[in-house]
Structure 1
Amino acid sequence: MTAPPAILVAVPAHDEQSSVVTCVRAVLAAVRVALDAGQIRSATIGVAAHRCTDRTAARASAVLEFSTLPDHVTGVVARDEIPSRVGAVRARLIDRLAALPGPSTDWVLSTDADSIVPENWVTDLMRIGASRGADALAGPVELVGWHGSQEALQRYRAIVAAGMTSDGHRHVYAANLAVRMAAYRAVGGFRAVEHGEEHALLNDLRAASFRVVPVLRPVVQTSSRLRGRAPGGLADLLRSLHEDQRLGASSGTAS
């Protein structure tokens, strides 16, 4: 019988003091559920406080380093002051977590500091990964806290709908991603690209004939803010949709 996997969860954060505690607590809750269900045997949870000027590191440490964690769970807050893209931040954090003493990592899970994973996040990803023989799983997100126009929100939903397929979807979100460590290592991990490091990783995996499976659950809640921390990310897309709609409305009124 195959032993349950050991996992690591990587969470990059840049000036996320308002959301990082909620994010980390949600990850911890999901890890506890998976441990209790026997879906994993251990977990290492890490937050990379990348060039933070606020209390992100201190607040993450209060949860991961200065509180009592469940057995078989390790928490790390890594202060990262190297100027670089978020893909490189993710990669450095994963390397650091994987090098810690303990069981060899079987799966890498990724989320973002402005996101909230559900309690079934780890359990469902590990169960689906095993049942479908996946090397990587790409899950969906749900926007929360939308403050833009309804027209822009409808345009975003249309983009999401256009990416749905008969067997899943074509979307990739770093806030809801899982990759087998062996596959991750084989393709060199997250690239230090301008943006879209999660897309680059899955493209590399497919090119190397690894099995990438899009899944419709679990769903991760993510911030719908219009000013993000990483250029070219979801926030930039949402802002462009909102601003395009405002410009269109202004043009229509002027004519």
Structure 2
Amino acid sequence: MLAVVIPAHDEEQHLGACLQAVARAAACPALGGEPVRVIVALDDCRDASARIAAEHGAQRVRLRARNVGRARALGAARALAQGARWLSFTDADSLVAPDWIAAQLAEGAQCVCGTVEVADWAGFDPRVRSSYDAAYRDTCGHRHIHGANLGVCAQAYRQVGGFAPLPAHEDVALVRALQAGGARIVWSSRPRVRTSARQDYRAPEGFGAYLAHLAARHGVPTGVPA
């Protein structure tokens, strides 16, 4: 079977839509009916995230670390214990395409690093988007790494020890370990994910923090992390 792992820290505003999108991807005809387990790693959640995950039929694992590396690792461990052969990772504030899982598998690789599309630039100065677009390659052959759009086969994941317990850049560390181990990695723009440009970002050095950094470079206001 296949698994989708989603870390969440107080994500009640976004998690429902994320899980609806994942459910569509899990029902993609190209998967041939192979079961897909959805696992939400609830990291110190004090809102309705657990209830929302349950309402959408997702499995829940809990921790109190406020550490995305630990959250992804715990979710992956649950999936592997149930026999998952492939692990797809996204974020609670992201929307995967209806063929997202199938597109990852179609690459025939041990790891697939996908791109992300910003869902909404509202609230950002146009100069921030211009700087982002100038540095970003949403095309096959890119070299971006996003936890919101990442897939890895179970064997390769196990061989490198999985996610490190890092509060940020855990996705980069995993891919670098896979590279060092000789895994077949594809850098593809075919598995599509739309992600939030929200300014109340969770990861201290994640995607939202990167956008805040671009805003600071231009001397324009931005939000602060939650």
Matches for 1:106-255 after TM superposition, within 5 Å: 106-129=85-108, 134-146=109-121, 147-161=123-137, 168-246=141-219
Q: 1:14, CA displacement in angstroms?
A: 0.6
Aligned to 1:98: 80
Where 1:193 maps in the other structure, the secondary structure is coil
The question of whether the paired residues in 1 share the 8 Å contact of 2:145 and 2:172 is answered with: yes
Q: State how far apart, in whole Å, the 2-side matches of 1:108 and 1:196 are.
A: 18
Aligned to 2:3: 8
- Gap regions ≥5 residues in structure 2: 222-226
Q: 1:86, CA displacement in angstroms?
A: 0.4
Q: Give the AA of the match of 1:234.
A: F
Structure (1 or 2) with the larger CA radius of gyration:
1
Structure 1, 108-117 or 226-235: larger mean CA deviation: 226-235
Where 1:137 maps in the other structure, the secondary structure is strand
The question of whether the paired residues in 2 share the 8 Å contact of 1:84 and 1:192 is answered with: no
Q: 1:149, CA displacement in angstroms?
A: 0.5
Q: 1:98, CA displacement in angstroms?
A: 2.2
**What is the aligned residue count?**
220
Aligned to 1:67: none
Where 2:200 maps in the other structure, the secondary structure is coil
Query: Are positions 1:79 and 2:79 aligned together?
Result: no
Q: State how far apart, in whole Å, the 1-side matches of 2:107 and 2:125 are.
A: 36
Change (3 A) 1:224 1:247: closer
Where 2:27 maps in the other structure, the secondary structure is helix
Query: Are positions 1:88 and 2:88 aligned together?
Result: no
Question: What are the Cα deviations for residues 52-93 of structure 1, in whole angstroms up to 9, with x where unaligned?
Answer: 1211111111111xxxxxxxxxx3022322x25201110011
Q: State how far apart, in whole Å, the 1-side matches of 2:63 and 2:31 are.
A: 33
Q: Give the AA of the match of 1:53.
A: R
Question: What are the Cα deviations for residues 187-234 of structure 1, in whole angstroms up to 9, with x where unaligned?
Answer: 000111241111110100010111111001122000011231111000
Q: Give the AA of the match of 1:86.
A: V
Q: 1:246, CA displacement in angstroms?
A: 2.1
- Gap regions ≥5 residues in structure 1: 1-5, 65-74, 249-255
Q: Give the AA of the match of 1:143.
A: V
Q: 1:10, CA displacement in angstroms?
A: 0.2
Q: Give the AA of the match of 1:115.
A: S
Q: State how far apart, in whole Å, the 2-side matches of 1:180 and 1:169 are.
A: 20
Where 1:89 maps in the other structure, the secondary structure is helix
Q: State how far apart, in whole Å, the 2-side matches of 1:175 and 1:137 are.
A: 12
Identity percentage of aligned residues: 34
Q: How does the TM-score come out when normalised to structure 2?
A: 0.92
Deviation >3 Å, runs of 4+:
none
Q: State how far apart, in whole Å, the 2-side matches of 1:107 and 1:30 are.
A: 14
Where 1:52 maps in the other structure, the secondary structure is coil
The question of whether the paired residues in 2 share the 8 Å contact of 1:108 and 1:180 is answered with: yes
The question of whether the paired residues in 2 share the 8 Å contact of 1:39 and 1:123 is answered with: no
Aligned to 1:19: 14
Aligned to 2:224: none
